[in-house]
Structure 1
Amino acid sequence: MPMSGFLPNWSPEAVVFDCDGTLMDTERHWQEARGRSFRDFGLLPPPGFAERAQGVHYVDCGRLMAEETNKPDLAADLASALLGHFLALVAEDPVTMPGASEFVRLCSRRLPLAVASNCPLEVVDESLGRAGLRRYFRHVVVPTESPGEPAGAEPATDGEQEPVVRPKPWPDVYSTAARLCGVPPQAALAVEDSLTGVESARRAGLRVLGVGPLPHHGDSGRADTWITGLDSEEVLSWARERMPS
């Protein structure tokens, strides 16, 4: 799907980026980590599992791995193994996605930027820091509680504490990021590579730019526009025009 529709005619007031697979080339690390975790427990990955797991919080992914291999008691152990393998892999090889660094720098000329990720905070900070991108983001928002809250429940509050932030596909990470950037959700642009993330951003009220190969045989979910990569000259030209130095 070429870039069209809202982007050429609209200027966001903030941009909120997913991290894995959008800014950082880490989806291959998650895939390898899932494979290693399955092997740790003598399990075989179910057909099509990689696509179903894309963008899913690692705790939910461990649960999914356990359910789909008929080993429900291993959910916590698989999640722990998955995170451990991933942290080791990303520390060895932090690589940005094509065009991500330039697009971030262009957007940062004029706009507040944030990251909304399902990864643990230390993973996001380490990945972006090693790639030289962390300084461009005013805020990094990650889940503050474990997945698994019943559907339809609202974020809980406790006195003066901040509301909890649930993982994607809940809208919390994106709605929180827009609020921290000081803009209403409808004035912010989300940049996402997975349908889980697209759903999260749309539920929060952001407009969504999908990036990368179209998932599910061409289904772009609820993304407003989908491009093949942030290195696309079309999207970089748009950013240069909208974010002049």
Structure 2
Amino acid sequence: MTTSDRNVLNWSPDAVVFDCDGTLVDSERHWQEARSRAFQEYGLQPPPGFAEQALGRHYEDCGRLMAQTVQKPELAEDLTAALLDHFLELVTEEPVTMPGAVRLVRQLSGRLPLAVASNCPRVVVEGSLERAGLLGHFQHLVVPDPGDGVRPKPHPDVYAVAARLCGVPPHRALAVEDTLTGVEAARRAGLRVLGVGPRPPGDGATRADGWAQALDAPELLAWVQALDSPRGVQDS
């Protein structure tokens, strides 16, 4: 476990808001394959480093980026549609949860309000969580919705709405994220952030309040067990 200026696991939040893709569900590899298939469908090749550019983006933003990077802006809508179609096919065939996700969510369930804030379409989030047996543990699912003015990450909207629906001030909620795009969104919304997964290069990890290698890290499990303990630090 690494931290920035304070150890977030010495603190007890009033709600926890999880990202879905790459945090609870191992679907980033499906997005990567879907991007490759969408490019191939139109006889195109992804430029070097495109996977890193696309990480954590809303699929519509990613479709536009795909078109821009191959200098085919007229294909933005077509590539976006192909990207989503291929992803839905892949994630339906092989849904996989991240290590420790099921255990951690189940242990938190009933102790704190839980929500998901994702850049994925609602049908993807609901389907992924249902297949993982986790959907019933979350009181709220928040995804981008242009009709309601909820913008995708890195805008703070999905996290701000999730905290509000959980009935807590943003600074009393903990976000759990695997990408710097998501970390930025949660920070801008005022949540504390626990990053999870491979440590980002450079000083990226310092944008979060703490960083763990995986959801099954022993310190995370110990933290959950201590939430009901008077040792928890309840500060504002």
Give me the TM-score of the superposition, normalised by structure 2.
0.93
Contact 2:154/2:185, CA 8 A, preserved across alignment: yes
Q: How many residues align?
A: 228
- For 2:33 and 2:128, locate their aligned partners in 1 and report how far apart those are by CA, in whole Å: 17
- For 1:82 and 1:8, locate their aligned partners in 2 and report how far apart those are by CA, in whole Å: 37
Partner of 1:131: 132
Contact 2:3/2:209, CA 8 A, preserved across alignment: no
Alignment of 1:68-147 (within 5 A): 68-145=69-146
| Alignment match of 1:201 (pick from 169, 181, 186) | 186
| Alignment match of 2:199 (pick from 214, 224, 235) | 214
Partner of 1:155: none
Partner of 1:224: 209
Return the letter of the residue paired with 2:83. L
Provide Cα deviations, 1:22-49, integer angstroms capped at 9, x if missing partner.
0000000000000101111111111111
Contact 1:109/1:243, CA 8 A, preserved across alignment: no
Could you tell me how far 1:109 is from its partner in structure 2?
Answer: 3.0
- For 1:19 and 1:8, locate their aligned partners in 2 and report how far apart those are by CA, in whole Å: 21
Return the letter of the residue paired with 2:77. A
1:174 maps to 2:159: yes
Contact 2:3/2:206, CA 8 A, preserved across alignment: no
- For 2:172 and 2:71, locate their aligned partners in 1 and report how far apart those are by CA, in whole Å: 44
Q: 5+ unaligned residues in a row in structure 1: which ranges? A: 146-161
Partner of 1:16: 17
SS in 2 for 1:55: coil
Contact 1:175/1:204, CA 8 A, preserved across alignment: yes
Could you tell me how far 1:217 is from its partner in structure 2?
Answer: 4.5
Displaced runs of 4 or more, over 6 A = none
Could you tell me how far 1:222 is from its partner in structure 2?
Answer: 1.6
- For 1:70 and 1:163, locate their aligned partners in 2 and report how far apart those are by CA, in whole Å: 32
Alignment of 1:143-154 (within 5 A): 143-145=144-146
Identity over aligned residues, as a percent?
A: 65
Partner of 1:159: none
SS in 2 for 1:231: coil
CA RMSD of aligned residues (A): 1.5
Return the letter of the residue paired with 2:75. L
Give me the TM-score of the superposition, normalised by structure 1.
0.89
- For 1:194 and 1:243, locate their aligned partners in 2 and report how far apart those are by CA, in whole Å: 29
Could you tell me how far 1:218 is from its partner in structure 2?
Answer: 5.4
Worse-matched range after superposition: 10-19 or 36-45? 36-45
